[in-house]
């Protein structure tokens, strides 16, 4: 099991059984709260107090391992003494686009799991219906994505699809597709984001691929001086603006 987990952590993916690695007490606590299926919990002796204090875990499911073994598995420099294997399934695309006032964020080539997780966290915070990981983006099951989402990935529906399926779904459901573009003529507060909307967030360096951008309405976050904003910040501001317009 340790080998399997280590490989998943190193590859930034799920285990061959489809389980996601959630590391650290905060994330394990969120998993217990959220009701996702927990396949196993691995903990070191120093996590005993923590488990006793804050986490209500059926004893049987905790497997005790020693520090050196945990260090071999852990994705972080100082392991946090506990990790869990979670069964977090993706939603169908319809689940991430649902609702009469749908608000969806689509990651289109985001590579950094920290950015991806932060975007999912903002999506939940601003009441988005769901998140779409378009093919070519970092995995939602990358342990670093999960950790950066601070548990939001356990609660908000997310789908994994290719571009063509995504565009068909968005079109069929009548969502406006907008794409942040520093050179766009219209500012994000000059267009309506109150109707069903999908927000496209492109790769950290290259932005949204040109042939995808053609299908979207370009909108500009009003900035000056800097070349661009960080992808997670751009997503957070677009989501905030959509929420503001709807309130």
Q: Is residue 220 close enough to count as binding a copy of itself by CB under 8 A?
A: no
Q: Is residue 54 close enough to count as binding a copy of itself by CB under 8 A?
A: no
Tell me which stretch binds a copy of itself (CB under 8 A): 34-42, 83-91, 139-147, 227-235: 227-235
Contact 36, 87 (CB under 8 A): yes
Alpha carbons within 13 A on the beta-carbon side of 68: 0
Please report the sign of the dihedral spanned by the C-alpha atoms of residue 71, residue 76, residue 77, residue 83.
Answer: negative
CB atoms within 10 A of CB 149: 28
Q: Which is nearer to a copy of itself, 98 or 229 (CB)?
A: 229
Q: Which is nearer to a copy of itself, 34 or 72 (CB)?
A: 34
Contact 145, 110 (CB under 8 A): no
Q: Is residue 229 close enough to count as binding a copy of itself by CB under 8 A?
A: yes
Q: Is residue 233 close enough to count as binding a copy of itself by CB under 8 A?
A: yes
Tell me which stretch binds a copy of itself (CB under 8 A): 8-16, 68-76, 81-89, 239-247: 239-247
Tell me which stretch binds a copy of itself (CB under 8 A): 41-49, 135-143, 148-156, 208-216: 148-156
Contact 9, 75 (CB under 8 A): yes
Tokens linked to 97: 């686009």
Q: Is residue 95 close enough to count as binding a copy of itself by CB under 8 A?
A: no
Helix 113-125 crosses helix 231-246 at what angle (to 10 degrees)? Answer: 10
φ, ψ at 103 (rounded to 5°)? -140, 110
Q: Which is nearer to a copy of itself, 20 or 118 (CB)?
A: 118
Q: Is residue 98 close enough to count as binding a copy of itself by CB under 8 A?
A: no
Residue 214 beta carbon to a copy of itself: minimum distance, rounded to whole angstroms = 26
Find the binder of a copy of itself among 137, 145, 152, 197 (CB under 8 A): 152
86: Cα separation from own chain's centroid: 15
Contact 79, 175 (CB under 8 A): no
Contact 100, 126 (CB under 8 A): no
Q: Is residue 225 close enough to count as binding a copy of itself by CB under 8 A?
A: yes
Q: What angle do CA 207, 213, 219 make, to 5 degrees?
A: 80
Find the binder of a copy of itself among 127, 136, 195, 209 (CB under 8 A): 127
Q: Is residue 125 close enough to count as binding a copy of itself by CB under 8 A?
A: yes
Site residues for a copy of itself per CB under 8 A:
118, 121-122, 124-127, 150, 152, 155, 187, 189, 221-227, 229-230, 232-233, 236-237, 240-241, 243-244, 247
């Amino acid at each position: 099991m340790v080998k399997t987990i280590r490989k998943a952590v190193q590859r930034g993916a799920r285990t061959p059984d489809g389980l996601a690695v959630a590391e650290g007490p905060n994330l394990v606590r969120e998993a217990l709260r959220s009701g996702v299926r927990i396949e196993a919990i691995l903990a070191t002796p120093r996590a005993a107090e923590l488990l006793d204090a804050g986490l209500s875990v059926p004893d049987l499911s905790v497997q005790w391992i020693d520090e050196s073994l945990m260090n071999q598995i852990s994705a972080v420099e100082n392991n946090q003494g506990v990790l869990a294997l979670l069964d977090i399934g993706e939603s169908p695309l319809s689940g991430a686009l649902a609702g009469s006032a749908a608000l969806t964020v689509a990651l289109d080539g985001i590579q950094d799991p920290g950015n991806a997780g932060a975007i999912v966290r903002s999506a939940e915070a601003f009441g988005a219906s769901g998140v779409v990981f378009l093919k070519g983006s970092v995995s939602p099951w990358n342990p670093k994505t999960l950790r950066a989402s601070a548990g939001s990935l356990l609660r908000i529906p997310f789908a994994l699809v290719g571009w063509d399926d995504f565009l068909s779904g968005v079109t069929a459901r009548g969502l406006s597709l907008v794409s942040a573009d520093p050179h766009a003529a219209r500012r994000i507060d000059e267009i309506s984001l109150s109707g069903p909307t999908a927000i496209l967030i492109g790769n950290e360096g290259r932005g949204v691929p040109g042939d995808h951008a053609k299908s979207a309405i370009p909108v500009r976050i009003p900035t000056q001086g800097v070349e661009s904003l960080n992808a997670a910040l751009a997503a957070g501001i677009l989501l905030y603006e959509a929420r503001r317009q709807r309130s």
